[in-house]
Structure 1
Amino acid sequence: MALFPLQALFDGDLVVLLVPVDDADPMTVVAGKVAHHVVGRRVAARDRPLRVRHDGRTLPDDATVVTLGMKPLDVVEVGYAP
């Protein structure tokens, strides 16, 4: 378990965030950490689950930074599921 920096964009937001996550966090936790800085501030809350995308694909909820082979400062996109 180690801190791992990711760049993150939230759908509908203009700000690129630098978010420290734990390399063992599942994507549901990563999504929550990104949403914490955006939802209810610059983007309205919705009653739908959050999803994380990386390199154009939606990531499994239980995947981790380690299992996906991400690199520090990789960019992820977070948004609500359709």
Structure 2
Amino acid sequence: MALLPLTALFVGDVLELLVPVDDGDTVEQVGQQVAHHVVGHRVARRDAPLRVRHDGRILAPETIIGASGVQPLDHIEVFYRD
């Protein structure tokens, strides 16, 4: 597995993050890694699933991030599904 650095914004936060993930992580794991730095700090915790958006499309949670078309330093958005 290889390091995959991404820029990420958790919707509702004011800071963009640089998050190093493993290209073998699932999209769900990536969303949780971003949420770890934000939820409970600057964004309230909610009882709802996390979703990840890349280039306007919502990625399936079980997809491997390295196989999803996301490239190093691409921007993703993480948000709670309503």
TM-score for both structures, normalised by structure 1:
0.96
Paired with 2:27 and 2:37, the residues of 1 have a C-alpha distance of 16
Residue 69 of structure 1 deviates from its aligned partner by 2.1
Structure 2: gaps (5+ residues): none
Paired with 1:44 and 1:70, the residues of 2 have a C-alpha distance of 27
Q: SS in structure 2 opposite 1:32?
A: helix
RMSD: 0.7
**Percent of paired sites with the same residue:** 59
Paired with 2:72 and 2:35, the residues of 1 have a C-alpha distance of 19
May I ask how many residue pairs the two structures share in their alignment? 82
Paired with 1:17 and 1:36, the residues of 2 have a C-alpha distance of 11
CA-to-aligned-CA distance 1:15-57 (integer Å, 9 cap, x gap): 0000000001001100000000000000000000100000111
Q: Hey, what does 2:64 align to over in structure 1?
A: 64
In the alignment, is residue 2 of structure 1 matched against residue 32 of structure 2? no
Which 4+ runs in 1 deviate beyond 3 A?
none
Structure 1: gaps (5+ residues): none
Q: SS in structure 2 opposite 1:25?
A: coil
TM-score for both structures, normalised by structure 2:
0.96
Q: SS in structure 1 opposite 2:63?
A: coil
